[in-house]
Amino acid sequence: MIKTDVLIIGGGPAGLGAAIETTKRKLKTLIIEENPLYGGQLIKQTHKFFGSSSHFAGTRGILIHEKLYKEIESNYLTMKTNHSVIAVYDDNIIGIHDKNKDKFLKVNAKKVILATGASEKTIPFKNNDLPGIYGAGGVQTLMNVNGVLPGKKILMIGAGNIGLIVSYQLIQAGAEVVGIVEAMSKQGGYLVHLDKVKRLGVPLYFNHTIVEAYGDDKVEKAVIAKVDKNWNIMDGTQKTVECDTICLAVGLTPTSELLWQAGVEMEFNPVLGGYIPKYNEYMETNKEKFFVAGDAAGIGEATSAIIEGRVAGISAAKSLGAEKNAKKFHKPLIDYINNLRDGSTGIKVKKAKFDLWGKELKDIKEVKIRPNQKGKIKKDRKQAYVVIECTEDIPCNPCEASCPFDAIDIGKRIVNIPVVDLNKCTGCLSCITSCPGLAIFGITENVEKGKVVISIPYELYPLPEKGDRVWAVDKNGQIVSESEIYRVRKNKNKTNIVSIIVDEKYKDTVRHFYPQSKGDTVICRCNDITAKEINDAIDDGYTDFEELKRYLRVTMGPCQGRGCRHLVMGMIRSKTGKDVSKGSTGTRRPPESSLPFKAIIKENKKRSKK
């Protein structure tokens, strides 16, 4: 029997937050974590966090769990990883499986904080048990913890924050995301996350769902289809997508089994992810011994989980007589969480929490959508200025905190739209690398006659070098012109700045680039047609898409141009200046995807006699 003051079940952001507060008050604290590493979701989140710069915003998740651990008074902490809590018995004794030694242990704790996190939801579709079908969290673990790429051609199901973030991380890791499928008419995640994958040319299928996976012993392709307003599949809209991996990012549900065992009163709340415990704003349940925090208390994000964990830790300390002035410490933490949820993306969660606590949500203030800039650029200005393309009320302020010249203003409400004062902006571009959404760009005019330099946040490898030829692309990943790398600035936080030079008419259009072939890069992979062959053909006068198709056979392979049509048209536009949207884009002919001859040849039942 292990005895402790406080048992924390779960060593993720909520559990670590709770341990900070309990150990600070000299309470003997035991954390039980089922995985080999503590940190929960943090250890696989390579992206930067939103929120306040005073609470890890702008810091990558993989660095935060160590920062939290350093705040814990280690003299009062015992951490047991690779241990699973398997039972809460009627006498409130906790049963634990030590997976290292394969032994059964029991814990008698004065107080228990359940920070068990969440599990991934799935959806039913035909052949959804084929190898190569993963939850998004599993994919993140493979990539960002174990260094294993799950596949080369990924179909993502779900355009919430997790689906969009994992899609971007897959591309960073070297995979091709062949599409993002979302049943709703728009993304469920932040627009800045959607913009990141759009700039990289990822196809988006809104109002679509997955119907079926195909493959003999692993995923080889998937069928998707449109859905109507009642979520029914629309016949005749089926589309086959070649892929070797299907990644499901269709939501999370609180891990609540131990709460049920403990006798905590539960209720179903779809806004918060499913069955959640009833608790008050101090994270206290109806069972005096048990507290709750993080996703186990309703699906949220990691910053809220950390703060909720700290609130629960203070509450547990108060109940043990180790904190006499809990209100003093509770108030700023609770106010902070409520402020994070003031925006349109969090107000539903805030209302659901208030309803749970029996509080009325009053004075909902709408965030004013305001221009991201004020002031004017002088025509002869030589230094850079920044353009902020963040138009959602995201709770985030690292850009404001990063500017040494107070040129960016968000204001008291963290969900306000950031505004840059062009009269104060000096062009240092430090805000570009601080933005978790990669939504800030630098513009330098007057570098050459008729040219501008666009500075882009860049998190892909390998990094280009000054002088490299690239294709400048727009916000949708479409090629608009040829360009050249003007400058590369490396940054310690891994968000580098790559500047390219383009015609000034593209200063409001270009927001990314693709590396350009040095002669051997294949553009049409079905028919092994290289960029050099296409460029040479355009130089020889084949300046119409239909001409190139007939001359080189581009887009005439099994994919029928899905992988290269936009690249070829962008190359024509770049080299000729033609508006390719007004010309031919090729004829789409059946079959829409490849199929064997036996599927269309009528079997001859009459056989000749020998």
β-pair type (385-388, 408-409)? unpaired
Asked if residue 607 has pLDDT above 60, the reply is no
- Report the DSSP beta bridge partners of residue 269: 274
567 or 62: which carries more pLDDT confidence? 62
Supply the pLDDT for residue 566.
Answer: 74
Distance CA 530, CA 535 (A): 9
Through-space distance between the first and last CA atoms of the chain, rounded to whole angstroms: 85
321: amino acid identity, one letter = G
Cα distances (angstroms) measured from residue 207 to each of 184, 187, 198, 199, 344: 5, 10, 17, 21, 22
**Residue 571 pLDDT more than 90?**
no
Mean pLDDT of the residues in the chain: 91
Radius of gyration of the chain (CA): 27
Are the beta carbons of 198 and 476 closer than 8 angstroms? yes
pLDDT of residue 610: 47
- Say what the pLDDT of residue 367 is: 73
Q: Give per-residue pLDDT as tens, 312-362.
A: 999 999 999 999 999 999 999 999 999 999 988 889 999 999 999 999 887
- H helices of 184-301, in order, are 191-199, 257-261
Largest Cα separation within the chain, whole Å, is 101
For residue range 218-234, what is the model confidence (pLDDT) as tens digits?
Answer: 999 999 999 998 889 99
What count of other Cβ atoms lies within 10 Å of the Cβ of residue 404? 9
Complete domains list, the chain, with CATH: 2-117+253-357 (3.50.50.60), 133-250 (3.50.50.60), 373-515 (no CATH), 522-582 (1.10.10.1100)
Cα–Cα distances in angstroms (integers) from residue 552 to residues 250, 388, 538, 557, 588, in the given order: 42, 42, 11, 11, 17
The pLDDT of 504-508, averaged and rounded, is 94
Nearest to 258 by CA among 114, 98, 103, 99: 114
Average the pLDDT over 167-186 and give the result: 96
Confidence of residue 599 (pLDDT cuts 50, 70, 90): low
Residue-level pLDDT at 564: 77
Contacts of residue 62, Cβ cutoff 8 Å, sequence gap at least 6? 42, 43, 44, 45, 46, 144
When pLDDT is averaged across residues 154-168 and rounded to a whole number, the result is: 97
DSSP output for 118-173: EEE-----BTTTSTTEEEHHHHHIIIIIT-----SEEEEE--SHHHHHHHHHHHHT
